Amino acid sequence: QKEVEQDPGPLSVPEGAIVSLNCTYSNSAFQYFMWYRQYSRKGPELLMYTYSSGNKEDGRFTAQVDKSSKYISLFIRDSQPSDSATYLCAIFNQGGKLIFGQGTELSVKP
């Protein structure tokens, strides 16, 4: 079983839609959960992270962790064409390795 799994999509939504991106992880001991955003032909960049469980909000973006179900989510409100990118969830595993999900390709149509 992979340590973190993510549906690769692709996902296409109209401008203004609410987007929900999700990952599952394997080990309940994981504490840090990150979301990275990767534009085409660029390296990934950290979007936001959460520690342990609960929600974290940053503008139109909300990251959520449900430790009981080992589920992490990223919500994008009022999505914009500039949000079109690949979104990757990531965790630090027990060995201190930064492990990424496969990434979900999002397209927001004007």
* Alpha-carbon distances, residue 31 vs 40, 50, 92, 106 (angstroms): 29, 8, 8, 26
* Interacting span for another protein (CB under 8 A) from 15-23, 45-53, 54-62, 72-80: 45-53
Residue numbers 81-110 binding another protein by CB under 8 A: 88, 92, 95-103
Residue 8 binds another protein, judged by CB under 8 A:
yes
Query: Residues 32, 52, 66, 78: which binds another protein (CB under 8 A)?
Result: 32
Contact residues toward another protein (CB under 8 A) are: 6, 8, 32, 34, 41-46, 49, 88, 92, 95-103
